[in-house]
Amino acid sequence: MKLQTISCPGEFGLINLIKKTFSNITKDKNIIVDIGDDCFCFKSGKDYIYITKDMLVEDVHFKTSWTSPYELGKKAIEVNISDLAAMGSVIPKYIFIGLGAPANTPEDFVKNLLKGIQQACNKYNIALSGGDTVKADKIIISVTALGISKNKPITRTGAQIGDLIGVTNCFGDSGAGVYLLNKYGIKHKYTKHERALIKAQNSPIARLNEACNLSHYLTSLIDASDGLFVSLNLLIQGFSKGANINIEQVPISKNLKAVFNNNQQILKFALFGAEDYQLVFTVPKLKEKIVKKLVPSITYIGKITTGTKVKYFYNGKKQKIKYCGFKHF
């Protein structure tokens, strides 16, 4: 008899198992957004309180040979702020850190990690508010972030048929950065453009300003932590709607174009490369122009349709695209 392991249901199967186990335990009327979105949200008096939790594990999410402890500290905060931004206009307030580390971790590593965390906390005016330290075989950084807002959340599920699908900035840089690091290592003599791609991987920036500026106009919102392809699937999940995406409109950076000249490869990074931490959102057609005016760096890449699938088109021609990104289990 073959023993079934968690690599079989996979990460999303595992998350579904968790959701199934825990559905309907409590009926708490203050819960506004339950498990399954970028953040959990509950109402406290007049405030909406947002909480997210992300865990970074050495050799899964980062390699200490690729990322400096300072960059790692900053990144641990930015990726959690990205989850808060994915709920709309949220003010980050408090951060809780769980740090696992082997006993032989150099003290300087921890000091520089803390400096990176501090730098990001200063940037967002967040207070480090708690956490604990434990011995572990590898570096583990578990971050819980709490944000507060007077505004209702923008969930993943609010898109209406006919809404435009927009994204912030560019896609694929971070995934291409990982590709380069995997292929050549950190000590390779990289070009300016290549270094920019590696920086996108090591020093991502949460799109909180964009989320705050746009939130009033958005019908749904998600961050692209697991890649654009996954985010688009999540935006239509569980509802009778689909999406048409014009792949040629997906914004690609000058750096990515400068380093790779194979269009297929570039699009693979853009669709499946994770950790770009851009926002993916929907906007009613009537708000198309005001949104673009408010944040000129956004790009519309498609629209919400009837149906139940995300369909991809390249210059009008339908494309068959299958998931080929990273799987946790």
Closest CA to 186 of 173, 175, 196, 195: 195
321 lies in the site for a second copy, by CB under 8 A? no
Give whichever of 30 and 263 is closer to a second copy, judged by the CB atom. 30
Give whichever of 64 and 118 is closer to a second copy, judged by the CB atom. 118
- Which residue from 14, 161, 186, 212 is in contact with a second copy, where contact means CB under 8 A? 14
Give the residue carrying structure tokens 């961050």: 223
5 lies in the site for a second copy, by CB under 8 A? yes
Q: How many chain residues bind a second copy (CB under 8 A)?
A: 79
- Which residue from 64, 68, 110, 311 is in contact with a second copy, where contact means CB under 8 A? 110
- Which residue from 40, 62, 229, 312 is in contact with a second copy, where contact means CB under 8 A? 40
1 lies in the site for a second copy, by CB under 8 A? no
- Which residue from 64, 68, 129, 246 is in contact with a second copy, where contact means CB under 8 A? 129
- Which 60-79 residues touch a second copy, going by CB under 8 A? 60-61
Give whichever of 4 and 261 is closer to a second copy, judged by the CB atom. 4
Give whichever of 4 and 240 is closer to a second copy, judged by the CB atom. 4
Element (H, E) at 147: strand 140-149
Q: How far is the CB of 142 from a second copy (least distance, A)?
A: 4
Closest CA to 156 of 62, 263, 239: 239
- Which residue from 65, 289, 309, 329 is in contact with a second copy, where contact means CB under 8 A? 329
- Which 202-261 residues touch a second copy, going by CB under 8 A? none
| Rounded distance between C-alpha atoms, residue 272 and residue 137, angstroms | 30
Contact 79, 61 (CB under 8 A): no
185 lies in the site for a second copy, by CB under 8 A? no
Pairing of strands 127-135, 91-101: parallel
- Tokens read off for 239: 């509802």
Give whichever of 124 and 217 is closer to a second copy, judged by the CB atom. 124
Give whichever of 44 and 264 is closer to a second copy, judged by the CB atom. 44
| Rounded distance between C-alpha atoms, residue 72 and residue 70, angstroms | 5
- Which residue from 85, 126, 211, 214 is in contact with a second copy, where contact means CB under 8 A? 126
47 lies in the site for a second copy, by CB under 8 A? yes
Element (H, E) at 40: strand 40-44
244: Cβ–Cβ under 8 A, 6 or more apart, which residues?
A: 302, 303, 305, 311, 313
Give whichever of 125 and 240 is closer to a second copy, judged by the CB atom. 125
User: Within 10 Å of residue 1's Cβ, how many Cβ atoms?
Assistant: 3
- Tokens read off for 110: 């921890």
Angle subtended at Cα 97 by Cα 278 and Cα 77, rounded to the nearest 5 degrees: 20
| Residue 212, CA distances (Å) to 74, 89, 216, 258, 294 in order | 21, 4, 8, 32, 11
Give whichever of 51 and 252 is closer to a second copy, judged by the CB atom. 51
Contact 222, 168 (CB under 8 A): no
204, amino acid identity: P
Q: How far is the CB of 204 from a second copy (least distance, A)?
A: 17
| Contact mark string toward a second copy, 133..172, x via CB under 8 A | xxxxxx-x-x-x-x-x------------------------
- Which 79-108 residues touch a second copy, going by CB under 8 A? 93-94, 96-101, 103-108
Give the residue carrying structure tokens 């509802």: 239
Stretch that binds a second copy, among 57-65, 150-158, 171-179, 274-282 (CB under 8 A): 57-65
